[in-house]
Amino acid sequence: MDSKQLFRLYHSKFFKANWLNDNGELAQNDGEVKWVYCGINQDFNSKIVKESINDTFEEDEVYLFISSNKSSLVSKSIVVEEIGKILHKKEIGVMNTSCTKIIHFTTYGVFSSGIIRDFPKSRLRTDGTPLKVAFHANILDSSTKKVADAIEDHFSNLEKELHKDYGGILEHLWIDLELVESHLKSRDSWPFRFQKRVDNPESHTELYTYNVGHYSVKPDFEKLRKLSSEESICSYVFELLYESTQVLVDKQKKLDAFNATAFRQDFLYACKKLGCID
């Protein structure tokens, strides 16, 4: 690969890196990432950089990434000197030839170390893996806030009740209750779709979520406006959500024999047990 291709490679790998904490383990958030001060210009600490380079990379040659026209495979012995020359001007990356370990230096004179894992574009659900259900009603307006307030506390309890193995290929099921009427004037609710891999920006270590079923539910807003008590709101909404799960029966074959019937039975039983439906 030429310098430009190598530089592109670095940036693609950089965004897939998992950075390490003080214990050399995967940091679970940005605040846990271990940053080491090495300084710049006259304050550049070549000793600490050399130690980190040698501890991280076993190979005699590593990739050194400085810019699109100055990135190449170099002898590990010259890396520290090259970093010291240019660090005050450029962010610099170092990576092994197998693209599994990385050190990133900033122009402020600090660096962090990480590992790079490959995430497959798809994977099979492991037998025995329980389904993770997530209900959402977080996009709302002032007219439907009372609805969200009434049902929100029940969501987590219902999710726990449905955390079971239903077979098939589904690992995650996301159901959104749409609570902004104006959003639905020009479209219907989102139909069910199955995605083999979805970006997971909420996790610092697991960059993707696999085997996800996702759809939204549109309520009768006129009916919602007439409901005043928390009990009547819950009863209407959870009956609506239950009815919506018929789509899983309709898609059962495509979901590789996911037991939609058992899921719906558990859904209804859990709603009654939790007092969501009379």
CA geometry: angle 152, 154, 158, nearest 5 deg: 125
pTM of the model: 0.79
For residue range 4-39, what is the model confidence (pLDDT) as tens digits? 999 999 999 998 899 999 999 999 999 999 999 999
pLDDT score, position 257? 87
For residue range 217-270, what is the model confidence (pLDDT) as tens digits? 999 999 999 998 999 999 999 999 999 999 999 999 899 989 999 999 999 999
List b or e across 133-147, with b for residues whose CB sees 16 or more CB atoms inside 10 angstroms: bebbbeebeeebebb
In this predicted structure, the answer to whether residue 98 has a pLDDT above a threshold of 90 is: yes
Do 37 and 119 form a contact (C-beta atoms < 8 A)? no
pLDDT score, position 60? 96
Coil, helix or strand for 16? Answer: coil
Return d(Cα 55, Cα 68) in angstroms, integer.
Answer: 27
pLDDT score, position 16? 86
Band (277; pLDDT cuts 50, 70, 90): confident
In this predicted structure, the answer to whether residue 155 has a pLDDT above a threshold of 90 is: yes
In this predicted structure, the answer to whether residue 205 has a pLDDT above a threshold of 90 is: no
Candidates 210, 188, 187; CA nearest to 197 is 210
In this predicted structure, the answer to whether residue 161 has a pLDDT above a threshold of 90 is: yes
In this predicted structure, the answer to whether residue 213 has a pLDDT above a threshold of 90 is: yes
Name residue 114's amino acid.
G
pLDDT score, position 207? 86
What is the rounded average pLDDT of the residues 168-195? 94
In this predicted structure, the answer to whether residue 163 has a pLDDT above a threshold of 90 is: yes
What the block records as the tokens of 60 is 């005699």
Band (91; pLDDT cuts 50, 70, 90): very high
